[in-house]
Chains A and B, each alone.
Chain A
Amino acid sequence: MLATRGNFAGGANEGANDPQSIDSVSESLNDSGDSQTTEPESHQVNWQDLVERIHKGDESGMEELYRLFGRGIRYYLCRQLGHQELDDKVHDTFVIVVQAIRRGELREPDRLMGFVRTVVRRQVAAYIDEAVHSRRDELNLDLGVRVADRRNNPEQTAAFRQKVEFMLEVLRSLSERDREILTRFYLDEQSQETICREMDLSETQFRLLKSRAKARFGEVGKRRLQKNPLISVSLRTSSR
């Protein structure tokens, strides 16, 4: 019998509290041990053996498949579609992958990662299509906007506001020209080439400006947090 949702229980409740933001995706992943679990790298996995076990209906194969891809698929689906019915979507995706493997449709086991990605992308497209057709416009699925702002609860809004304040401090400390460069890139979405050409910048200068802004953002956040340890904002953006 094909694995039921129970078989994939490892991450089935990760999104059960209906968090709505990128922050909460991270939190739910962390809550479920994402930061602790050592996920194997692709070269450490014997894809041939894994696919063979799933093909034979071996439960251990399906468990490993979920362990390898569960959080990644969850993250991808959440990023594209939000938290609504996320558990069901993750489950559906796994069912499709497992069924296809059992039918012998995956001829090259080494391409399992690519296959999973294709299935997830198709699932996303299908859900969007369905949403469009059922006129659920309130979902506001804008395919052109990858970075979707899904903040929804007051705590998330407050934390976000605080980060914007940190950023405002950073931006005010920059020259008008530097702010214009960042505006062109992040708001106007002009290409790096265009900005460099029109503002007489080298690629290195452009990159330096961006990384300095990120570093300053991190510093300001850290300084504010030291001043006021009660601020419970995790300033995750690093200057790396």
Chain B
Amino acid sequence: MNACSEFRFPADLLERYAMGKVSHLDCGPLEEHLILCAACRKRLMQVEEFILVIRAALNELDTHSETRIGAQSALAL
């Protein structure tokens, strides 16, 4: 694959975009670039996959509920 020479979209932005945290107005330049750039599309797919995998793993570890219980207990105190 040809590398993307523009590389102006950092991993953090791709991650926020993958999580739906970039507003419609702000994601314009990125989406326009993605339509044209295979290298960045691949980066985005990798980011999306990482998010899916880590979410599944975190859910499985049940860290989520433990954290919540911990936070709730702290509040109760």
Contacts and interface: CB of A to CB of B under 8 A. Distances in A.
- The winner among A22, A145, A166 for most chain B CB atoms within 10 A is A22
Contacts of B72: none
Interface in B1-55: 1-2, 4-6, 11-12, 17-21, 28, 31-38, 41-43, 45-55
A141 to B, nearest CB: 13
A117 B53 contact: no
**A interface, by DSSP: helix, strand, loop or mixed?**
helix
B20 A113 contact: no
Contact of A213 (B32, B38, B54, B55): B54
B75 interface: no
A42 B36 contact: yes
B19 A189 contact: yes
Interface of B: 1-2, 4-6, 11-12, 17-21, 28, 31-38, 41-43, 45-61, 63-64, 67
Given A25-B45, A113-B32, A164-B56, 15 more contacts: A22-B48, A22-B49, A38-B2, A75-B41, A120-B35, A144-B20, A167-B56, A168-B61, A183-B58, A183-B63, A186-B51, A187-B55, A187-B58, A187-B63, A214-B50
Interface of A: 22-23, 25-26, 29, 34-42, 68-69, 71-73, 75-76, 113-114, 116-117, 120-121, 144-147, 149, 160, 163-164, 166-168, 170-172, 179-180, 182-184, 186-189, 207, 213-214, 217, 236-238, 240
